[in-house]
Each structure stands twice: as structure tokens, then as C-alpha cells.
Amino acid sequence: MGDEVFPILKYSYDNLPNGMIQSCFLYCSLYPEDYNIDKEKLIEHWIGEGFIREFEDMNEARYQGHDIIGTLKLACLLESGDNEDSQVKMHDVIRDLALWIACKCGRKKDKFLVHELPRVKKLEIERISLIHKDITSLIEAPMCPNLVTLLLNDNQKLESISYGFFKFMTGLRVLDLSQTSIKEFPMEIVELVKLQYLNLSSTLIKTIPGELEKLVKLEYLNLNHTYRLTSIPLKVISRLPRLQVLNLYNNRFGDSEEDWGDDSDGSNLEKLECLKHLKVLGITIRTVATLQRLCNSRKLSRCTNNLVIMECQGLTSFSLSPPPPPPSSSSSSSSSSTPTLENMKGLNELYFDYCFDLEELTVSWIVAWEGENGFSSSLGKLSLSLLPNLKVVRAMSHCPCLQNLSFVDINNCDALKDLTWLLVIRSLETLIVSNSEGIEEIICGGVAKVEEEFITFSRLKTMELNALPKLKSIYRHALPFPSLKVMNVSQCPELKKLPLDSNSAKNTLKRITGEQCWWNKLEWEDESVKYVFLPYLKRGTFSGF
């Protein structure tokens, strides 16, 4: 079948705009059949492979990646995944086509290997993918001297890699061990001197060896979500001369004195400024001094893509936007003791965790200051977690800082009473609010009815409300919710009304999840509206997002 059909199907491949997009298409065949490919991880792999190279920051690279995905979908070479917003799939026939093309139209059948490791020497193999194969250990060393890419990610049962496994892979450039259960850093990796991409995220490794500095060609290092990693030597990382992407967020970085040394003033962070080619930084900050250093460093601020602000004892207030510009004739700006994200225009994800002293978060000051030196942000995700004293979130309409914010997660913020500031987020798509005992309203009842030109939550697709014992109201008026797909409500006993009428979520709603007893007690202005939404109710307890 292949030899007859593939030459015809290859027409779509041949008509792709350029060789880079063709390479990106072929790369998708390395994922398993019928696999939901995470768009962001796919783009990261494309960056690691060098398909996407010309970018100033991660957001520019991400935009390029999404453009490529759009081109491939338009050519019917990729399709939407189960979650159409974040995933894509490759049809089985198209995947077979891609493998056929990658293997020189069948002339070099083992150039891409996607089933198992070879047991004999294979000179022609360039890429091996064993993603999601339930591998438990790697013992025999495959003899693949021309191997460029090895993808072993998403093998949760993989705990050990025998010494010698990598000895015949001297040309390896891309190695992905993420989402595995390996506990020790495989020391042989430091001998892979051509390695450019190394992903150890979401593993159980405990240490990073000093010998890592041997990887002088390394451009991409991902150590995020490595919660057992007790020490990350900045001195070693700062000696990686070609490093462009460094992810250290959501791990224990900063816990150990070995990470910072005597860093009472945060000055050791400047070791990262030695990385001349650094474009993307993800980092966890645990002290106010280090946070202030990061905010004041133009180089590191400009590179920061993911920021976790954790603990930071003494941090009582924080601003997502800079103070207003000085008077027109003045070129000097007054200093502020409140850290701001003034220089972090590439920031995509911001997390506040365990900041017990934080009382106020400000995203205001900006109304029309969008000139040459004005502030705008690509912030897409904001998470506020375990902030027991956070009482106030200040925001103003049309704040550029929030123009791209699409995901908000708020949990364990017991001092908050309402989330009315969400009104100014025009691009919000996902809202998750949970385990916050003080929240009584999502949008305060004192806010006037929304005018027609501004539709509240116009882009909202998912709303999750869980364990909010005092929540009485989402909004006092019915809302059109033109994009809403999912509403999940659990353990909100005081929530007696939903902001829905017969015109809400028309043609978009897929489900409402909630306990049966809660649904039965809901009050409706018009009982007929209840029966409009009854078919979408998924009874049972809330299972989480």
C-alpha cells in the first residue's frame, strides 16, 4: 500500500513552504501512534533540534512554533488533539508517510526508529524514539555511532540506565529523559561532547556533577520539576559557553548554600550573567534580595520566561507593572522598594508559592503609557498558591501587563474576599479557584451590570471552582459565556445561583460537573433554564482539573 499511496500523499509535504517546516513535520513521526502531542513540548523539541534558531526570547520562538503547527494543520498533515487548545495529533497514515519520507522514501528503512532499540550495529540510524513505551531499565548499549536524537521521555517506570549504555552514541545531540523515574544522573552523559539539548525535567535525580561543564556545545538545559535535586552548582552552569535556554524553575534550587553560597545580597545570581548567549531563563527565587537582583538585572530579566517566587520572607507587596513614568521633563525615576517586572517583557508564567508575608499584589498604574519605553507583557499564566495573608489584588482596565493573560490559578488564598480584578483580563481562557476559605464572590456584587461593548469572560473556556465554603456568587447577572466549554463546581455549598440563562454558552458548552445534591438546590430565575443545561450535567464528585 505504501509504495502506491505515499508518492501521492507526498504532494502535501513537497508543497510545504520550506525545508525547515518539512523537517518539523517529519519530526512529528517520532511520537507514538494516536498520541496527543503537547504543542509546547513539541516546540521545545524543535528548538532543541535547531529547526527554530532565530529568536530573541522564548515567546518569539513559541510564536514561530505555533505558526509552523498552523501551517501543518492547514496542509492536513497535523490535526487537533483531544485538547484542541494544547495538543495536536498525527493521523496514522500521515505518520507512516512521514516515516517513509524520513527513511529516504523507503530506501533507508532504519533512519528513524520508533519501536525498540536495535540489537545489532546500525550505521544508518539517526533518530530513535521510545516515548511512552513502559520501559523499566536500559541495559544493552545500542551501537548507533551516527545517532543524533534519542527520545526516552514519558517512561514513568524507567528507573535505571546501566553504565555503558551511551558509549556508542558519540554523535548524540538531543537527549530527552524527562518524565522518567531515574534517580541518578547518568555520568556517561558528560562524555557526549556534541550534546546540544538535555532534558532531565520531572525526574528524581538528586545531584548535578561538576563534570557537566564538559558539555561545551550544550544550548538547552531543562531541570524543571526536579524536586529531589538538592543542589545546582551555578558556577558549573555558568561555564557552559553556548547555553541559550536554562530552566531551573519548580525545583529545590536555592534551598542549599551550595546554590547561592553567602548570598545575603543576592549577588551570586550574577554568575548567570556570564552566559553570553542566554535567551531563556526559568528560575525559582526564594529571598527578597535575590528577587530584587533579578528584577534589577536587565540581562536576566529580559531572559526570564518562567518565574517562581517562593517563600521570600519579608515580601509584603509586589507589582507586575512598573511605577508610572516620571514627569515629561524628568529623565530620572524614583526607586521603589517594591520589586516589579518592569524589564521582564518575555515573562510567560509567574507563580507565587508559600509567600506567607505577601499582602498586596498590584497590576495597575498603567492606563495609556504604551510609548517607545512603555510596558507590555507576554504573561500568559499566573498562579497564586498558599498565600494566606494576600488581601488585595489591585488592577486597572486596559493594563498591558495583562493583555495576554489566559490562565489564572488561585488556591489556598484564604484572606481574599473576591476576585473582581479578573474583570480586566480580556484574554482569560482558564480560571481555577480552589481551597480558599474567604472567597465570597468571584466578581463583586457592587460592580455595575456589564455594558454590551465589553463581554465579561468572553474568552473563558474552563472554570473550576473547588472547596470554596463561603462562595455565594460568581456574578450577579447572567453572562453570555460565548466560549465556555467546561464548568466544574465542587464543595461550594453556598453557591445557589449560576450566572446562566438560555443564551449562555450557546453551541460551546460540553459539560457542567458538580454534586447531585448541589445541582438540586440551585435556584433559577426561570425554571426552564435549568432544563436547558441539564443534559450537560455530569453528576458525581469533582475529580480535579
Q: Where are the domains of the chain?
A: 2-102, 406-545
The answer to whether 70 and 80 are in contact (CB under 8 A) is no
Q: How far apart are the first and last CA of the chain?
A: 42
Three-state SS at 261? coil
The sheet with strand 79-80 has its strands ordered as: 37-38, 87-89, 79-80
Q: Where are the alpha helices (DSSP H) in 154-225?
A: none
Give the percent of the chain with pLDDT over 70. 86
Q: What is the pLDDT of residue 363?
A: 74
- CATH number for the domain formed by residue range(s) 2-102: 1.10.10
Q: 42: Cβ–Cβ under 8 A, 6 or more apart, which residues?
A: 28, 65, 69, 88
| Residue type present at position 139 | I
Q: What is the pLDDT of residue 329?
A: 45
pTM for the model: 0.89
Q: 337: Cβ–Cβ under 8 A, 6 or more apart, which residues?
A: none
Chain-centre distance for alpha carbon 98: 28
Q: What is the pLDDT of residue 372?
A: 42
Q: What is the pLDDT of residue 365?
A: 42
Q: What is the pLDDT of residue 118?
A: 79
Nearest to 393 by CA among 348, 354, 424: 424
Three-state SS at 473? strand
Beta strands 87-89 and 37-38 are antiparallel
Q: What is the pLDDT of residue 498?
A: 96
For residue 71, the tally of other CB atoms under 10 A from its CB is 17
The answer to whether 110 and 125 are in contact (CB under 8 A) is yes
Nearest to 247 by CA among 295, 194, 201: 201
| Mean pLDDT value across the chain | 87
Q: Rounded to 5 degrees, what angle do the CA atoms 88, 115, 108 make?
A: 95
Grid cell of 293 as nine digits:
537582583
CA-CA distances (angstroms) from residue 139 to 136, 160, 177, 328?
A: 10, 8, 15, 68
Query: Length of the chain, please?
Result: 545
Tell me how far apart the alpha carbons of residues 182 and 25 are, in angstroms, rounded to a whole number: 30
Grid cell of 462 as nine digits:
474552563
Residue numbers in the chain where pLDDT is lower than 70: 1-3, 105-109, 120, 253-268, 321-338, 364-377, 396-401, 446-454, 540-545
Three-state SS at 495? coil
Three-state SS at 493? coil
- With both helix axes pointing from N to C terminus, report the angle between 19-27 and 39-49 in degrees, rounded to the nearest 10: 120
Q: 253: Cβ–Cβ under 8 A, 6 or more apart, which residues?
A: 223, 229, 232, 259, 283, 284
Q: What is the pLDDT of residue 369?
A: 39
Three-state SS at 270? helix
